[in-house]
Structure 1
Amino acid sequence: MLEKLVETLLRTAVEHAGGERGLLIVPRGGDLSIQAEATTSGSTVRVRLCETPVSAAALPASVVRYAARTRESVILDDASARNPFSDDEYIGHRRARSVLCLPLVKQGTLVAMLYLENNLAPSVFTPARIAVLQLLASEAAMSLDNSRLYRELQEREAKIRRLVEANIIGVVITDFDGPIIEANDAFLDMVGYSRDDLMAGRLQWTALTPPEWHAATQRGMAQIRATGRCDSYEKEFSRKDGTRVPALVGGAAFEETRTHAVAFVVDLSERRRAEEALQRAHAELAHITRVTTLGELAASIAHEVKQPLAAIIAEADAGRNWLAMPNPRLDVVSEALDAIAKDGQRAADVIQRIRQLATKTEPRKDRVDVNEVIRDVVSLLRAELRRHDVVLTLELEAELPMVLGDRIQLQQVILNLAINAIDAMAPTVDRPRELVIRSGRLGCDHVTIAVQDSGVGIEPDDLDRLFNAFFSTKPGGMGMGLSISRSIVEAHGGRLSATPNAPHGACFYISLPAATPALERDWPK
């Protein structure tokens, strides 16, 4: 359609104006391009469509660029006579006589330019002919612009059609409140419905959305109604078989009424599976690290269990001796039995804590008392602290808010930091070996834990890579403890950091969000 319009325009202009040669020039990406050329041979006008950059070899470039810049017509009755464009290379070389360059302008925008020349005679383009050309130019500008818009619309529709039919992502057309109007095969396969289901009106945008995702979907719809588009967001769709598919959704309105929209849907199933596999691998690595840590503490834990067992044996012997006397002291025997029960419970508690750390379980979401977690870790460290001559100070703030998370994982983090602190103080001989574990509040919505030692400290160059996997300052260390610890803390919505401690040692800080109903609701499934 555009090609026919261009040919008709150029042929008519050349025939009515008396030109020997005519060009239609159009703007192209900040420059000018020749779109068609008309030449005469006797009474015959031949039109050739082309796409050639404007150059001095094809036309008087200074004339054309002046007309394009000023939106003014340029008429040279005799280009061979002295004029403002006499120095133009083309005019001198071709010995042009009559020259006309007429801008085609619509609403102040340059749509095209009509260039005509006649090298046989001067003053060919008379005022009467120019008046006809200007009238023609006005109509041509509108026709060319409309044709351009129509072509761009066709190209845009073709691109959209290719996108929809490529089935790379799901594409849905919906009116929000009613059934889905159209959808490509990618989306239908995603939700497990057929095209017959679609044509029968059995697919509704809201009905495909599980109840807990209604709020996110309604926010997206409201944003489209208000602004014409919505930011991409994650949600799930209910499949026909009752299963669910995770997806990333974005959308835009079709028209000003904003009652219909197109939505683009990306299936996140593969990403979800990859994330779950990564979580399983992380949990397995965390479990291996816990077991390795318990192995390092084996001697200290054995001593911690041996003490109450030795006390049980001693109390049992004493009770038996009292019972063997002619007048048994039953009150003393009862005290011995109480001591046996207490020491037995103490040993059982140690074993239970070891068992919890050694057992591989799924991460849990519970309300956890940080101070209790710290005390559980300390009970496993007592013998290790004595063995390394470390003085422990607990500074635990009372009545802290609960945090939301996995008790065993948090124990693992604190245990790892405490063992690292003990190891860092092993070379220290010129000052007391002091380990301080604090808990407190940070603002009104976070709980903090600090593990501080008086050891060798942290080199400034090591701070940036301290939490990198496989980086370790300990001889023979795997370099996984701090990396896993940070991952655990961040999975709880918190932050783990480290700073040098003045004048000696280092301090590791854990910040965890306090448990709130909103946090429990948004906790990752």
Structure 2
Amino acid sequence: MVMRTAIEQAGAERGLLIHVSGDVARVEAEARTGPRGIQVELRDAIPNEQDLPVSLFHRTLQTGDHVITDDALADSRSSLDPYVVRHGCRSIMFLALHRQSRRTGVLYLENNLVPAAFHPRRITILKLLASQAAISIENARLYRDLANREAKINSLVNANIIGIIVWNSTGAILEANDAFLRMVGYERCDLVTGLVRWTDLTPDNFHARSMEALDEARRCGRAEPYEKEYFRKDGSRVPVIVGLATFPADVERGVAFVLDISERKRSEQKILMSEDRLREFELELERASRIATMGHLTASIAHEIKQPIAATITNAQAALRWLKADPPEPTEVSDAIARIVKDAMRASDVLARIRAMIKNAPPKLERVDLNEAVNDVIDLTRAEAARCETKVDVVQCAALPLIRGDRVGLQQVLLNLMLNALEALKEAKGGARILRIETSRQGTDEILVVVADTGPGFSTELKKRLFTPFLTTKLSGMGMGLSICRSIIESHGGRLWASDNAPQGARLQFTIPVDPTSPRANDSPGT
């Protein structure tokens, strides 16, 4: 209607109604005069040089006022414009449209039959029409945006990809899509009769969090998505993520988007179960490695136990002789029994250390004195070292701070490193066979443990792959010993590495963090 009136009042052949928002302009409607009168066509396109003289259009946008050209072909401002040249334009008018001092669009009119078709006296009438056109453009745009928004919302609701509900703060669910009803197992008739309330669907342990989200939505207009659960109609629960938003006109009502995360929760549970099974396998592998390592000590262990047993038998026989003596010698008998107790305790200690190494128990974190742990393992390997004709040198830091860790796991590492060294020393050709174990402070917050030997050492290629799982140079080895050792040390926050021992042999060493609560943790490093 506005375009027809503008064409008639101005005496134009053609016109465009252009909406402008910021830097974006779009043609909303086009009107033309023809044999059947004025025809209006609705459009939605960006104006270009096919539609109008772009140079004059930009001038109108810059000045915010009307631009009139009586003869565009003769006017220097427009004579070279491609649209003017192509269509032979004569009379042209651009009229800026404003609403409440805000530019909303441009009205373009043209007449290519006669020059000076748009008389200045008509501008007043056209400005009135322009204000009406601005209102029409604004309303058309608002209705279009509203229609588009409603279409998008309807598409989202009807797509049933996620659950959508309209709620109020008293707990009622005023409306819900099919996706939400399926999620909680209710029918639409249950919703209509008021049986479905979000407060009733929320378990007690999620009620406080739901109320926090409701308060946040009241204050801010929306609440950050959060996880909770809903009761299904059958009493089971469904895990969901909920996002809230209140209506601007009523903060006690709003819309919520509900996403079912049951599949994600099942996947997370499977991952946790897989991690638990993996940890169980790792523990079994560590235990198998310990048992295999202890198997190499069978002869040494037998010797360690045989000695105190033999001594016990000897002392028992001596005690019997002293008892049968005439007269009996109670002092000698008492000394013999004391020696029996001492030898029995020695055998018991050996068995206790072996049991601790091979028992199937989870890691136990406790304060550990590494010097004591080293000495226990040296006692276990003493007979093996003697059998290998190896001298064992021990250099320990006297005031070593305690560490926090798993004693059995750390002793497994020490035992593995010492047995590997003794195995290498068997192959040493000439020279002294020496196994050296050192403990010392490494800076202020770590302890360094070194196991060095004078054996043949590592080849360059072997050194690169030393900690690779299943790599072994032994016929009966699993190739997991050093790999497990590194895993144990790294789980304690430490580092295990290998290097050459000067002037000959191999050197394996690891660091372990000091327990900061240890009484000697802040002492100066020293040996």
| TM-score when normalising by structure 1 | 0.70
Contact 1:435–1:454 at 8 Å: present in 2 too? no
Distance verdict in 2 for CA 1:160–1:342, change over 3 Å: farther
Deviation at 1:512, TM superposition (A): 11
Distance verdict in 2 for CA 1:58–1:437, change over 3 Å: same
Letter in 2 for 1:246: P
CA distance in structure 1 between the aligned counterparts of 2:486 and 2:231, rounded to whole angstroms: 37
- 1:190 aligned to 2:183? yes
Letter in 1 for 2:232: R
Letter in 2 for 1:354: I
Deviation at 1:138, TM superposition (A): 1.4
Alpha-carbon displacement from aligned partner over 1:199-247 (angstroms, at most 9, x marks no partner)? 3333333433333333433332332222222223333333333333332
CA distance in structure 1 between the aligned counterparts of 2:340 and 2:26, rounded to whole angstroms: 106
Partner of 1:224: 217
CA distance in structure 2 between the aligned counterparts of 1:287 and 1:437, rounded to whole angstroms: 34
- 1:87 aligned to 2:80? yes
Letter in 2 for 1:98: S
Alpha-carbon displacement from aligned partner over 1:460-482 (angstroms, at most 9, x marks no partner)? xxxxxx9xxx9849945679759
CA distance in structure 1 between the aligned counterparts of 2:5 and 2:485, rounded to whole angstroms: 81
Letter in 2 for 1:371: R
Equivalent position to 1:65, from 21, 39, 58 = 58
Distance verdict in 2 for CA 1:418–1:55, change over 3 Å: farther
- 1:370 aligned to 2:356? no
For 1:228-247, list aligned pairs within 5 A: 228-247=221-240
Equivalent position to 1:434, from 415, 427, 438 = 438
Distance verdict in 2 for CA 1:236–1:432, change over 3 Å: farther
SS at structure 2 position matched to 1:168: coil
> How many equivalent pairs are there?
466
Contact 2:496–2:508 at 8 Å: present in 1 too? no
Contact 1:286–1:484 at 8 Å: present in 2 too? no
Deviation at 1:158, TM superposition (A): 1.9
Letter in 2 for 1:140: A
Partner of 2:241: 248
SS at structure 2 position matched to 1:287: helix
Distance verdict in 2 for CA 1:474–1:116, change over 3 Å: same
Contact 2:99–2:135 at 8 Å: present in 1 too? yes
- 1:165 aligned to 2:165? no
Distance verdict in 2 for CA 1:189–1:301, change over 3 Å: farther
Contact 1:350–1:379 at 8 Å: present in 2 too? no
Contact 2:71–2:90 at 8 Å: present in 1 too? yes
SS at structure 2 position matched to 1:149: helix
Contact 1:98–1:119 at 8 Å: present in 2 too? yes
Alpha-carbon displacement from aligned partner over 1:327-382 (angstroms, at most 9, x marks no partner)? 3858965985797589558746753663334x8xxx9xxxx753279999879966
Deviation at 1:186, TM superposition (A): 2.6
CA distance in structure 1 between the aligned counterparts of 2:133 and 2:315, rounded to whole angstroms: 117
Deviation at 1:16, TM superposition (A): 2.2
- 1:129 aligned to 2:119? no
For 1:97-108, list aligned pairs within 5 A: 97-108=90-101
Partner of 2:330: none
Distance verdict in 2 for CA 1:44–1:497, change over 3 Å: farther
Contact 2:90–2:112 at 8 Å: present in 1 too? yes
Partner of 1:270: 263
Instruction: Structure 1: state its 5+ residue gaps.
Output: 1-7, 401-406, 441-447, 457-465, 490-494, 515-525
SS at structure 2 position matched to 1:264: strand
Deviation at 1:20, TM superposition (A): 0.4
Deviation at 1:116, TM superposition (A): 0.5
Distance verdict in 2 for CA 1:385–1:373, change over 3 Å: same
Partner of 2:503: none
CA distance in structure 2 between the aligned counterparts of 1:161 and 1:15, rounded to whole angstroms: 42
Letter in 1 for 2:99: K
Contact 2:2–2:132 at 8 Å: present in 1 too? no
Contact 2:242–2:258 at 8 Å: present in 1 too? yes
Distance verdict in 2 for CA 1:272–1:496, change over 3 Å: farther
Letter in 2 for 1:17: A
Equivalent position to 1:327, from 320, 323, 345 = 323
SS at structure 2 position matched to 1:371: strand
Deviation at 1:119, TM superposition (A): 1.2
Contact 1:290–1:412 at 8 Å: present in 2 too? no
For 1:251-330, list aligned pairs within 5 A: 251-255=244-248, 257-301=250-294, 303=297, 310=306, 313-314=309-310, 317=313, 321=317, 327=323
Contact 2:290–2:358 at 8 Å: present in 1 too? no
For 1:337-348, list aligned pairs within 5 A: 340=344, 347=351
CA distance in structure 1 between the aligned counterparts of 2:449 and 2:225, rounded to whole angstroms: 44
SS at structure 2 position matched to 1:207: helix
CA distance in structure 2 between the aligned counterparts of 1:412 and 1:192, rounded to whole angstroms: 53
Letter in 2 for 1:216: R
Partner of 2:39: 46
Alpha-carbon displacement from aligned partner over 1:26-81 (angstroms, at most 9, x marks no partner)? 34895534333221125601123334442323311111122223322212233233
Distance verdict in 2 for CA 1:298–1:156, change over 3 Å: same
Contact 2:19–2:137 at 8 Å: present in 1 too? no
Alpha-carbon displacement from aligned partner over 1:112-141 (angstroms, at most 9, x marks no partner)? 321100112233223343222221221222
CA distance in structure 1 between the aligned counterparts of 2:263 and 2:55, rounded to whole angstroms: 60
Distance verdict in 2 for CA 1:182–1:318, change over 3 Å: farther
CA distance in structure 1 between the aligned counterparts of 2:273 and 2:5, rounded to whole angstroms: 76
Partner of 1:351: 355
| Range moving further from structure 2, 134-143 or 31-40 | 31-40
| Range moving further from structure 2, 64-73 or 211-220 | 211-220
| Range moving further from structure 2, 386-395 or 346-355 | 386-395
Deviation at 1:312, TM superposition (A): 7.7
- 1:17 aligned to 2:10? yes
Contact 2:227–2:240 at 8 Å: present in 1 too? yes
Deviation at 1:10, TM superposition (A): 2.0
Deviation at 1:419, TM superposition (A): 7.5
CA distance in structure 2 between the aligned counterparts of 1:90 and 1:231, rounded to whole angstroms: 53
Contact 2:111–2:117 at 8 Å: present in 1 too? yes
Partner of 2:525: none
Letter in 2 for 1:285: L
SS at structure 1 position matched to 2:252: coil
Which structure is larger by alpha-carbon Rg, 1 or 2?
Answer: 2
Contact 2:418–2:451 at 8 Å: present in 1 too? no
SS at structure 1 position matched to 2:251: coil
- 1:56 aligned to 2:60? no
CA distance in structure 1 between the aligned counterparts of 2:86 and 2:215, rounded to whole angstroms: 66
RMSD: 4.9
CA distance in structure 2 between the aligned counterparts of 1:88 and 1:213, rounded to whole angstroms: 69
SS at structure 2 position matched to 1:225: helix
Distance verdict in 2 for CA 1:430–1:345, change over 3 Å: closer
Letter in 2 for 1:138: S
CA distance in structure 1 between the aligned counterparts of 2:411 and 2:249, rounded to whole angstroms: 61
Alpha-carbon displacement from aligned partner over 1:132-190 (angstroms, at most 9, x marks no partner)? 22212212222322221222122222222222222222223322442233333333333
SS at structure 2 position matched to 1:90: helix
Equivalent position to 2:146, from 153, 157, 167 = 153
Distance verdict in 2 for CA 1:284–1:53, change over 3 Å: same
SS at structure 1 position matched to 2:86: helix
